[in-house]
Amino acid sequence: MSQKADYWKANLRLIGLCLAIWFVVSFVFGIILVEPLNNIRLGGYKLGFWFAQQGSMYIFVALIFFYANRMGKLDRAHDVHEDKDV
């Protein structure tokens, strides 16, 4: 039982980390801090504009695969994976 409780706590920590990044790249960089970030250039892009219309989406994709990968490892470490299921 505590195995499952530990697994759930580890999952919640991982979700917290991922959603913090999710929040920062979209709401913080794309909206709240967009004006100061726009003073920095990324090629022809103003950086704040780039986060809002490009960067946030790339990071969202990476975050989901990162989460899926880490959860796969957690599933095994806590022995709650599905491979024993038929």
Judged by the rule CB under 8 A, the positions of this chain that interact with another protein are 4, 7-8, 11, 15, 18-19, 22, 26-27, 30-32, 34-35, 38, 42-46, 49-50, 52-54, 56-58, 60-61, 63-65, 67-68, 71-72, 75, 80-82, 84-86
CA 15 – CA 49 distance, rounded (Å): 27
Q: Name the phi and psi angles at 38, rounded to 5.
A: -65, -15
Instruction: Tell me how far, at minimum, the Cβ of 33 lies from another protein, in Å.
Output: 10
Instruction: Tell me how far, at minimum, the Cβ of 11 lies from another protein, in Å.
Output: 8
Listed in sequence order, the DSSP H helices in 1-86 are 2-23, 34-37, 47-50, 56-77
